[in-house]
Amino acid sequence: MSELFIVKVLLGTIFLFSGAIKLMNIKSFEKTLKSLDLGKRITKFVAFFIPLFELATFMVLFIPGYTIMGSIFIYVLLICFSYAIWKAKYKKIKCNCFGSLTDEELGFNTIIKLSVLFIMNCILMAGNILGKSIPAIVSVQEYVFAFIFSFLVIVLYSLCSLIILYKKSAV
């Protein structure tokens, strides 16, 4: 199993999970967008567009020969998220990256998360451009392992986030 395959599955799983959580709690995501003062029409549109685009990104990443397009989709999402951080400066706005699973605010920690996603996406894009392709045939066991690994990374991140929140509230 190649490192590029693991990066691809991890990125895909993050956007699958993020998009699905936002769609399941669209009102909470919409509330975050309203806090960014985007305007009523734009807020309604973006509340559906971003989660659907995240899910589309997941799907495109796994269509053979379309990994570079999936990477471009990720760059578009990262630009949108960066704009949200910029709009949120000097405000306390709930991040809603993973819906209500984590209780974080848009800010420095969000910038770090986006930077990590950016670096991972650069690795995936560079690997594909340089011809270090992901094997066309990957066993079911490798997919299952990679998705479980990716899911565990998200769960670990969420647990760490909850622990930090608990420690802050205990002080």
d(CA 150, CA 16): 11
Neighbouring CB atoms inside 10 A of 124's CB total 26
d(CA 15, CA 7): 12
* pLDDT number for residue 134: 63
Closest CA to 88 of 104, 74, 76: 104
Q: Is the pLDDT of residue 32 over 80?
A: yes
pLDDT confidence of 165, banded at 50, 70, 90? low
pTM reported for the whole predicted model: 0.83
More confident residue, 133 or 28: 28
Type of residue numbered 147: F
Whether the Cβ atoms of residue 117 and residue 79 lie closer than 8 Å to each other: no
